[in-house]
Amino acid sequence: METARLRAFVETAEKGSVKAAADSLGYTPSAISQLITALEKELGITLFMRSQKGMKLTAEGREMMPLVRAYLTREDEIYTYAAELKGVTRGRLTIATYPSVAATWLPAIVRRFKNDYPGIQISLMESIKSDVIHHFEQNEADLAFLAYSEPFPYEWIPLTESNVIAAVPEDHRLADADSFPIAECANDDFIMGSWGREMEIWEILNKSGVHPELKYTTYDTPATLALVRMGLGTAFVNELSAQFWNEHLVKLPLDPPQSITFGVAFPSKERMTGAARKFLDCTLEYFEKKSGK
Element (H, E) at 284: helix 274-291
* pLDDT given for residue 88 in this prediction: 43
Render pLDDT for 168-196 as a digit per residue (tens, 0 to 9). 999 999 999 999 999 999 999 999 988 88
Element (H, E) at 185: none
d(CA 140, CA 13): 12
Q: Are 164 and 239 in contact (CB under 8 A)?
A: yes
What domains can you pick out in the chain, each with its CATH number? 161-259 (3.40.190.290)
d(CA 293, CA 290): 8
The residue ranges of the chain whose pLDDT is under 70 are 1, 83-90, 151, 292-293
Closest by CA position to 166, among listed 120, 108, 208: 208
* pLDDT given for residue 86 in this prediction: 57
Render pLDDT for 31-77 as a digit per residue (tens, 0 to 9). 999 999 999 999 999 999 999 888 999 999 999 999 999 999 888 87
* pLDDT given for residue 76 in this prediction: 82
Query: 223 CB contacts (<8 Å, ≥6 apart)?
Result: 193
What proportions of the chain, in percent to the nearest 5, are helix, strand and coil? 45, 25, 30
- pTM for the whole structure: 0.68
Phi first, then psi: give them for residue 233, nearest 5 degrees: 160, -170
Three-class SS string for 212-266?
CEEEEECCCHHHHHHHHHCCCCEEEEEHHHHCCCCCCCEEEEEEEEEEEEEEEEE
Beta strands 54-57 and 48-51, pairing class: antiparallel
* pLDDT given for residue 64 in this prediction: 95
